[in-house]
Amino acid sequence: MTKGIKKVCVIGSGVMGSGIAAQVANAGHDVLLLDIVPKDAENRNMLAEGAIAKMLKTDPAPLMHKRNAKRITPGNVEDDLEKIKDCDWIIEVVLENLDIKKSLYEKLEKHRTDGTYVSSNTSSIPLEQLVEGRSADFTKNFMITHFFNPPRYLRLLELVTGDKTDPKAVSVVRDFCDRKLGKGVVVCHDTPGFIANRIGAFWLQAGVNEAFDLGLSVEEADAVMSRPVGIPKTGVFGLIDLVGLDLMPHLSKSLLSNLPKSDAYHAIYKEYDLINKLIETGYTGRKGKGGFYRLNTEGGQRVKESIGLVTGEYEESKKAKPAAVDAAKDGGIRALVTHDDKTGQYAWNVLSQMLSYAASLVGEIADNVYDIDRAMKLGYNFKKGPFELIDEMGAGWFAEQLKSHNMDVPEIVTKAGAADGFYKVEDGQKKYFGRDGKYHDIPRDDGVILLEDIKLTTKPVKKNSSAALWDIGDGVLCLEFCGKMNALDDKVMFMIYEAIGQIGDGSGDYKALVVYNEGSNFSVGANLGLALFALNVGMYEAVDGLVQLGQDAYKTLKYAPFPVVSAPSGMALGGGCEILLHSDAVQAHAETYTGLVEVGVGLIPGWGGCKEMLKRHHKFGKFKGPMAHVSAAFEQIGLAKVAKSADEARDMMILLKDDEITMNRDRLLADAKAKALELAKDYGAPEPAEIPLPGPTAQVALNMAVADLNKSGKATDYDVVVSKALANVLSGGDKADMTEPLTEDRILELEAEEFKGLIRNKGTVKRIEHMMETGKPLRN
């Protein structure tokens, strides 16, 4: 019998260990977190207990909800090892030292139940050495599961198995990591640094070397080696600051000692006095006094500074505008790497080395290019993996460039260049170029449905510049937002009506709707740029019309005779949150950040958000009474509260009891579709609610509370204006009385009225302008 995984033990409560334990707890599983007993410790569990306490304070939070900390039981490896008999999976996250690990495994053998999975989070020790001397059952159930920091947020999990690992054990652990921990599991070969750190460390080293050699500032280097090539904005130096300057030598040393001398990493590896000096003086990066960048707060001001690679002194940071980056705006990545100045050279030098290195490792570190690309994307947040980058330049073109620079051309680049590149789409199927010179289907995990794949085989049912409808099979239609930032506008509303028309009463081709997209954010709300333009030219009626259109569209969607399931991931703010509130169910990715944030731009929710929050707090709120739901909705909307996970969105009643959470981003659409089909079985549209609201007394109470906040400096003068509008809506208006419940339509009217008043106020326009310019709310 293969064992399922319920309870997990994590041994080692450092940054990685506690992060892994937190993610297991986030998945709803109990965790035993063990660490050593420090010498002379009075509290023998002090390390694990300290780690749990720290989890609750760390930002970004490793826990998706504070209560998850209760699922983690602290202990120590001297007194509590016998408790591992009840655990189904033991994850070892102790020091990178073979002897320490081996002696721990020996102790584990005494207490673990047969069939218990054991894995190591090692990043450098070969699996074969780890299992040396272990029993057959231990060896059979042992593998390497290499997480990335922070484990909640970085999706990559590198999985390494040995010859003797039982495939059934691998499948159970892999499935748990995929479905429960939400990981993108990439199978790696048992080689030093596996995939991501092997290539990542090489890339960082090349990035540092070339910046020194070419005499670039860190800003210039980072401006080139980031967004223009689909790499996070931290670039090279910013990323080292984030990871910690002091951690880099550990990574390098472990790679150097394990890689053969012939490996290219040995050739480019270099230590810099400047960096060593920074580490010695406590400039270890963001966690220390600063690193390549720092915030200088001397003299009371916060000045961003960076270190001069030549001078070794901090100077005020200057925003770099490299010419090569400008060139790339029109000419793409080819223009970037061929631009004739040192920033162009930098792009070429770093990328050509990194991409060649990656290409030279296909087969050695992983089976194929797809796995390597996936690892870099999930582990280093690259938008494109190395081979996708080569394809963007053209594999043949890249091979020629290498040749003209007198660089070796890896065989697979030559071959892919002669064929159709590393990836191509054939018969609606995306394929990668294999080592055998043939194209192979991109593998997808069982049950994964991606819009990305569907788009290759079908045309949209309908599409405009802001939204599209896709047939995702089995009678389910998918509404995708596809405008800039997935902003919502009139075209999205038209598409909602289109969906309602297509599905009709559900007896035709379609019977359910899923609202889903694969952008990094579900939607950040209404298109403010458009609204601001209209307001600046005095076209108030145009904005009024959009409010009406949105209210009507969401309302019609809600009461349509078919089920609607919204499936958000990333930010779902403002209007993006309101569509969740008007769906029959929400299937949310665990990493969903949602809330009604309209007051930040001087507005109130105008597409039914006020109405829905009142209704939800009235029906399901913790406290009862004529004011309880009003106060709860007022606090939530008035403070623009945003849930920092799907689980937190439950506390805010944006997700309700029957709504569900998907841990793995790739499984979101499949789960949402299944939910929609389930609801379609016996569907009846909901009945509109009536909500008792107290009227003027509530306005007085809420306005008094805001006046106090204003006086104490916690609310600005314009906050008072916006809050007053919000209070009027949430109280039910001047004529409401608690004995006569209000219809949903009446509350929608109030929303629209107050919204119209606010857009005609200069304070609101100033807030919108400021948000558009700076991305931050104005406190006027």
Site residues, another protein (CB under 8 A): 623, 625-628, 631, 694, 696-701, 704, 708, 711-713
Report the distance separating Cα 601 and Cα 528, nearest Å.
Answer: 9
- Give 267 or 700: the residue with its C-beta nearer to another protein: 700
Question: 100 vs 704, which CB is nearer to another protein?
Answer: 704
In the complex, least distance from residue 629 CB atom to another protein, rounded to whole angstroms? 10
- If the CB atoms of residues 41 and 700 are measured against another protein, the closer one turns out to be 700
Closest distance of CB 768 from another protein, Å: 26
Task: State the number of CA atoms in the 13 A half-sphere of 299 facing the CB.
Answer: 5
Taking the complex as a whole, the smallest distance from the CB of residue 701 to another protein amounts, in Å, to 4
Write down the least CB distance from residue 731 to another protein, Å. 10
Cβ at position 693, least distance to another protein in Å: 12
Closest distance of CB 702 from another protein, Å: 9
E strands, 79-180, are 89-92, 117-120, 142-147, 156-160
Nearer to another protein, 311 or 712 (CB): 712
Nearest CB to another protein, comparing residues 372 and 632:
632
Closer residue to another protein in complex, CB, 608/638: 638
- At residue 29, the 3 state secondary structure works out as coil
Residue 92 dihedral angles phi and psi, to the nearest 5°:
-95, 125
Contact 512, 506 (CB under 8 A): yes
* CB 415, CB 436: distance < 8 Å: no
Closest distance of CB 230 from another protein, Å: 45
Query: Which residues lie below 8 Å from residue 25, measured CB to CB, with a gap of 6+?
Result: 31, 63, 68, 69, 71, 72
CB under 8 Å to 453, separation ≥6 — which residues?
Answer: 430, 444
Closer to another protein by Cβ: residue 210 or 719: 719
709: exposed, middle or buried (Cβ count in 10 Å: 0-12, 13-18, 19+) = middle
> For residue 543, what are the contacts with CB-CB under 8 A and spacing of at least 6?
531, 534, 535, 759
295 vs 700, which CB is nearer to another protein?
Answer: 700
Instruction: Quote the least distance from Cβ 703 to another protein, whole Å.
Output: 9
H/E stretch holding 571: strand 570-573
Radius of gyration for the chain, computed over Cα atoms and rounded to the nearest angstrom? 28
Q: What residues contact 684, with CB distance under 8 A and at least 6 apart?
A: none
Beta carbon nearer to another protein, 725 or 765: 725
Residue 316 has phi, psi (to 5 degrees) of -60, 135
- Cβ nearer to another protein, comparing 456 with 704: 704
Q: How far is the CB of 621 from another protein (least distance, A)?
A: 11
For the CB of residue 732, give the shortest distance to another protein in the complex, in Å: 13
Measured from the CB atom, the residue of 162 and 696 that comes closer to another protein is 696
Strands 303-307 and 293-296: antiparallel
- Could you tell me the smallest distance in angstroms from the CB atom of residue 723 to another protein? 15
Q: How far is CA 736 from CA 6, 11, 607, 705, 756, in A?
A: 52, 60, 21, 20, 20
Taking the C-alpha atoms of residue 732 and residue 724, their distance in angstroms, rounded to an integer, is 12
Number of Cβ within 10 Å of residue 374's Cβ equals: 22
Exposure of 399 by Cβ count < 10 A (0-12 exposed, 13-18 middle, 19+ buried)? buried
| Pick 403 or 735: Cβ nearer another protein | 735
Question: Please, what is the minimum distance in Å from the beta carbon of residue 50 to another protein?
Answer: 21
Smallest distance, another protein to C-beta of residue 566, A: 32
Choice between 387 and 634, CB closer to another protein:
634
Count Cα neighbours of 523 within 13 Å in the Cβ-side half-sphere. Answer: 29
Using the CB atoms, write b or e for 629-667: b if 16+ within 10 Å.
bbbbbbebbbbbbbbbbbbbbbbbbbbeeebbbbbbbbb
The answer to whether 47 and 12 are in contact (CB under 8 A) is: no
Distance in angstroms (rounded) separating the CA atoms of residues 202 and 265: 6
Minimum separation from the CB atom of position 705 to another protein (A): 8
Phi, then psi, of 737 in degrees rounded to 5:
-145, 145
Find residue 119's DSSP bridge partners. 91, 143
Decide whether 250 or 735 has the Cβ nearer to another protein. Answer: 735
CB 525 within 8 A of CB 487: yes
Shortest Cβ 626–another protein spacing (Å): 6
Tell me how far, at minimum, the Cβ of 697 lies from another protein, in Å.
Answer: 4
Q: Is 632 helix (H, G, I), strand (E, B) or coil?
A: helix
Name which of 264 and 738 has its Cβ closer to another protein.
738
User: What are the beta bridge partners of residue 146?
Assistant: 158
DSSP output for 682-738: T--PPPPPEE---THHHHHHHHHHHHHHHHTTSS-HHHHHHHHHHHHHHHT-TT-BT
Q: Which is nearer to another protein, 696 or 757 (CB)?
A: 696
